[in-house]
Structure 1
Amino acid sequence: MPVKTLIAAIFLFGITSASAAQPAPLVEAEGTQLRVTLADGRVLHSPELIGATLLIATADGGAVRARLDALEADPDDKTGKVWLHSFSAQDKDGAWQPLCMPGPDKRQQGFPLAGRARADGSVAAAPSTELELVCTSGARGKCVRFGYHPWENARDGSPMLPLYNACMRMVRADYGGNDHPYTRNGMTIDIYDDLDVQKLDAGEAMPFEAGWSEQGAVCLAHPRVPENGSLADIASANPHLAGHLGPEACTEEKARALGAVLFNRSAASR
């Protein structure tokens, strides 16, 4: 099942019914919670929707029934704004299975997130009614949990969405900004930015990898997984990075001068 799923309708069994005569509830994303406005004016949020069954349209044009089974505050989130939803999906045999695949932390959770996915792998701002269910095992979910909340402004008043998009590029090692990842699961990376959403881990002695904007890497010191693409391979596939590849051409200072808003260090795989 595709990870990206768009909510098409919601049926709240025991609260309302899917009657043709009854207007469909208004479903929105409010941060990482669902917000549902019923025909009678009542407004319900995720804690009040546990047990609700949703009809969702999948990225491949199909549809599936999903159920909200549980909800918890993200224990790693210091802001109190990230809520982890346990969704299950009904398969063809009627059995319920977790909607999300497990991530490195073994969690199989996700949350709704407003935004419009672009073909290049980035996300555009969208009304709260345009939302997807994203899983914590994927780049979109990971970057929210890292603190890059695309619905908010950063502490300097600037929109957080460019940082969020840069984070997704970084997580996937999407150097060219064309939704072509060069990473693999299980790689260790150290992320940091100038707004201190994420800070450099002083205990990690990994070399500088790249500086990132929402369009991809602005420069690349070394590929994270060389067997997935050497510097020569990446240069050939991404001519716009010419002159900005290699440890001398890409330092934190040079990346910042090229417009990077996010930086990372990594140990190249062997």
Structure 2
Amino acid sequence: MARLFLALTLAGLALIVGGPARAADAVLSVEGTTFVLVTPDARLTSRDLVGAEFDMEIDGLPSTVRIDSVTPSKEQPDVLLHAFSIKDPETGQYSPLCDSDAYGREAGFPVAGAWDDKGQFVKNPKAWFLTCTSGSQGKCILWGYNPWKEGPKGEDLLPYYEACQHTVRADYDGRGQAFTKNGTTIDVFDDIGIQRSETGEDVKFAFEAGWGPTGAVCADRTRWPDLLSLEDLRKRGSRFQGGCDLERARKRGALIYTRVEKR
């Protein structure tokens, strides 16, 4: 997450700005998933900022990040994928900030907003953070659950975005523990038409769980029994007692549903 100090250099122009990046003559902010730099003479967006470097804290350490390229995503064309690289403080060399996602992309983007200490997303236009397409925060936006947008019928997508975080990580009880593995195939779908099931006729897949903003509302199986068995999950809360199917999850207020491979 961006901290209070940000130094941005672009084409020989040095700007010292404070979070979310203010100075007497310039303002750097994020609109949706796009950087916006406003100066007295211009309004620059992410595409204009290719080559820019800025200082921010990553995992509690001061880091220098550079924007190497900006391209629209295939999933959501209005989401711009930024190729970020991070500077090695000892060698001065740059390497990709983000790990490769399932499509081999080493990319990410800024997101307007913040996460509070309870793990809830806050629509704060004065704050922003970086996320990668390989992580849950980026994946969920690419899947269409942008917390700043509305669903097909005007639904607030913020709770869907929060539910999606637990979905991706298989964080069943919302304690922040992930019980999944990289590269796991999951069929994600909902009742509002953003994502539709693709495995309904595939006997290799079965219903896993229904998900809400605080985790799974019920579960019929676990994604990886060797990481967390269904028996052990049932010990983690009364909501996991008994079985779970689409109708039961729907009655309990699930926003997102998953089917996974049988194991």
Under a length normalisation based on structure 1, what TM-score does the superposition of the two structures give?
0.88
Shift of 1:172: 0.4
Instruction: State the alpha-carbon separation in 2 of the partners of residues 10 and 42 from structure 1.
Output: 18
Instruction: State the alpha-carbon separation in 1 of the partners of residues 255 and 115 from structure 2.
Output: 21
Specify the alignment match of 1:210 in structure 2. 209
Is contact 1:110–1:136 with CA below 8 Å preserved after alignment? yes
Cα distance 1:260–1:89, how it changes in 2: closer, same or farther (>3 A)? same
State how 1:34-113 maps to structure 2 within 5 Å.
Answer: 34-38=35-39, 40=40, 42-60=42-60, 62-77=61-76, 80-92=77-89, 93-113=91-111
Residue identity opposite 2:107 in structure 1: Q
Is contact 2:219–2:240 with CA below 8 Å preserved after alignment? no
**Equivalent pairs, count:** 255
Instruction: State the alpha-carbon separation in 1 of the partners of residues 14 and 96 from structure 2.
Output: 24
Shift of 1:101: 1.1
Instruction: State the alpha-carbon separation in 2 of the partners of residues 23 and 66 from structure 1.
Output: 23
Residue identity opposite 2:80 in structure 1: W
Matched, 1:251 2:251: no
Specify which structure has the higher proportion of strand: 2
Under a length normalisation based on structure 2, what TM-score does the superposition of the two structures give?
0.90
TM-superposition CA deviations, 1:126-168 (whole Å, max 9, x none): 22x2110100000011111111111111122221111111111
Cα distance 1:19–1:210, how it changes in 2: closer, same or farther (>3 A)? closer
Cα distance 1:210–1:13, how it changes in 2: closer, same or farther (>3 A)? same
Instruction: State the alpha-carbon separation in 1 of the partners of residues 240 and 141 from structure 2.
Output: 31
State how 1:1-270 maps to structure 2 within 5 Å.
Answer: 8-14=5-11, 16-18=13-15, 23=24, 25-38=26-39, 40=40, 42-60=42-60, 62-77=61-76, 80-92=77-89, 93-127=91-125, 129-201=126-198, 202=200, 204-205=202-203, 206-236=205-235, 238-243=236-241, 245=242, 249-269=243-263
Instruction: State the alpha-carbon separation in 2 of the partners of residues 242 and 50 from structure 1.
Output: 48
Q: SS in structure 1 opposite 2:28?
A: strand
Cα distance 1:121–1:226, how it changes in 2: closer, same or farther (>3 A)? farther
Structure 1: runs of 5 or more not aligned: none
Residue identity opposite 2:233 in structure 1: I
Instruction: State the alpha-carbon separation in 1 of the partners of residues 109 and 3 from structure 2.
Output: 12
Q: SS in structure 1 opposite 2:177?
A: coil
Cα distance 1:13–1:193, how it changes in 2: closer, same or farther (>3 A)? same
Instruction: State the alpha-carbon separation in 2 of the partners of residues 265 and 180 from structure 1.
Output: 20
Shift of 1:29: 1.5
Shift of 1:187: 1.0
Residue identity opposite 1:17 in structure 2: A
Q: Percent identity?
A: 32
Shift of 1:203: 5.1
Is contact 2:7–2:14 with CA below 8 Å preserved after alignment? no
Is contact 1:226–1:268 with CA below 8 Å preserved after alignment? no
Is contact 1:210–1:264 with CA below 8 Å preserved after alignment? yes
Is contact 1:207–1:265 with CA below 8 Å preserved after alignment? yes
Is contact 1:139–1:168 with CA below 8 Å preserved after alignment? yes
CA root-mean-square deviation:
2.0
Is contact 2:2–2:127 with CA below 8 Å preserved after alignment? no
